[in-house]
Amino acid sequence: MTSDSEPKIIVSFDIGIKNLAVCVMSVKGPGSEGGPGSEGEHGSEGGPPGSGSASGIKILVWKVISLAAEKEKIPVMNEISGRLFLAMDELVDEIGQPIDYVILENQPSNLNGAMKSIQMMIYSYFQLRKHWEGLAKQVYLVSASEKLKGHETALSNIDMTKYEDKSSASSVSSVSGVNGAVVVKKTLRQKKSKSYQNNKKLAIDITKYYLSKNEELLSLFCSYKKMDDMADTFLQGISWIRKHGFENIDVLESMIANSSV
C-alpha cells in the first residue's frame, strides 16, 4: 500500500495483437483517496487520490508489444495467450514496483472477437495477480471515447480546420428509393470511417503537442510506425488521471522533465 504522498503507478493498454501499446506512468500530487464511479467505466471501487493540481507525470514505460510478427499469420488464440502472458510477466518485471491502476480500452464484443479476447486475458491476468499477490490495486475497462476528453488546452493549440467535415449533406439528400438507401448507407459508412481516422490523427497531434518541449520523447514517439496506438495508450492514461483527481495537472510541463524511456 502506498500513501497519498507517494506516486501512483498507472498502466494504460491500447488493445492489439501485432500492436499492443502500453504506457506506464507515475503520477504524484496532493489529495486524498477517492473513487471513480463515473459513467462508462467498469471495475472495482476505488480511484487515484487528489483533488487539485498534481506535481507531475513521469513516463516509466512506453512501447508497442508485438504478439505476432508483422508478416506473420495471426496464430491461434492458444498460442497468442502464451505469448501474451509471457509479455505481461516481462512488463511487470520491467515496471519493477507495485501497480496502482491498470486501464484497458473496452472492446466491442460484436465487432472483433479476437481483440475482446486479448482485452479479457490482460484483464484476467492483472485481476489474478491482484488476487494472488496484491500486485495491482484495481483494474478498469474504459470506453474508447474517453481518451480524447480533457485535452482542451492542447486542442486550442492545434489547427482543427483539417478535421472539419467538408462533405455536403445535399449529396445524399436528393436520392430516394432502394438505390438512394444504398447511397445513404455507403455515405454513413464513409463518414464513420473518416471520423475514426480523424480521431486517430487527432490523438497523434495532441500527443505531439504534449511532447513538443521534449525533443527526446518526441523523437521516440515519432520513431514508431504505429504512432496512433502509442498516442491512444498515452492519452487514455492522461484522460483517466485527469478525470480521477488530477484535473489541473500540466502535462506539457510534466513532459519537459521526462527523459527518454
Radius of gyration from C-alpha coordinates of the chain: 20
pLDDT tens track for 139-160:
999 998 889 998 888 888 888 8
Q: Higher-confidence residue: 208 or 195?
A: 208
Please give the pLDDT value at position 48: 42
Answer whether residue 57 shows pLDDT above 60: yes
- DSSP state, residue 14: E
Q: Is residue 261 part of a domain?
A: no
Whether 135 maps to a domain, the answer reads yes
Is 245 part of any domain? yes
Bigger pLDDT: 157 or 257? 157
Q: How far apart are CA 8 and CA 50, in angstroms?
A: 11
178 pLDDT above the threshold of 90: no
DSSP 47: B
Q: Is pLDDT above 90 for 127?
A: yes
**DSSP states along 178-197:** HHHHHHHHHHHHHHHHHHHH
Spatial contact of 43 and 138, defined as CB atoms under 8 Å apart: yes
Least confident of 125-129, 142-146, 179-183: 179-183
More confident residue, 89 or 182: 89
**In angstroms, rounded to a whole number, what is the distance separating the alpha carbons of residues 191 and 51?**
39
Asked, for residue 183, whether it belongs to a domain, the answer is yes
Q: Terminus-to-terminus CA distance in the chain, angstroms?
A: 26
The residue with greater pLDDT, 171 or 46, is 171
Residue 85, domain member (yes or no) = yes
pTM for the structure as a whole: 0.79
When divided into structural domains, the chain yields a total of: 1
Q: In what order do the strands lie in the sheet with 136-142?
A: 41-43, 136-142, 99-105, 8-14, 20-28, 56-65
> pLDDT value at position 191?
58
Residue 1 lies in a domain: no
Which of residues 106 and 189 earns the better pLDDT score? 106
**Separation in Å, CA 95 to CA 11, 167, 249:** 9, 47, 23
Mean of pLDDT over the chain:
80
Q: 249: closest CA among 94, 52, 99, 78?
A: 52
User: Which CATH number characterizes residue 172's domain?
Assistant: 3.30.420.10
* Range 26-47 burial, b when 16+ CB lie within 10 A, else e: bbbbebeeeebeeeebebeebb
Bridge partners (DSSP) listed for residue 25: 10, 59
Residue 39: per-residue pLDDT: 38
- Which ranges of 61-176 does DSSP label H, i.e. alpha helix? 77-95, 113-133, 152-156, 170-173
Give me the phi and psi of 64, to 5 degrees please: -110, 125
Task: Inform me whether the pLDDT recorded for 171 exceeds 90.
Answer: no
Point out the least confidently predicted range of 1-15, 122-136, 216-230: 1-15
Q: Is the pLDDT of residue 113 over 50?
A: yes
Share of residues in the chain with pLDDT > 90 (%)? 46
| Grid cell for residue 215 | 525533443
Q: Which residue, chain included where needed, has cell 505531439?
A: 208
Name the more confident of 60 and 30.
60
The answer to whether position 3 is within a domain reads no
- Maximum alpha-carbon separation in the chain: 65
> Above 50 in pLDDT, residue 75?
yes
Asked if 255 and 39 touch (Cβ cutoff 8 Å), the reply is no
pLDDT band at 38 (very low <50, low <70, confident <90, very high): very low
Question: What local confidence, expressed as pLDDT, does residue 53 receive?
Answer: 39
- Percent of the chain past pLDDT 70, that is, above it, reads 75
pLDDT at position 161 is 83
Enclosing domain of residue 103: 8-256
Residue 123 lies in a domain: yes
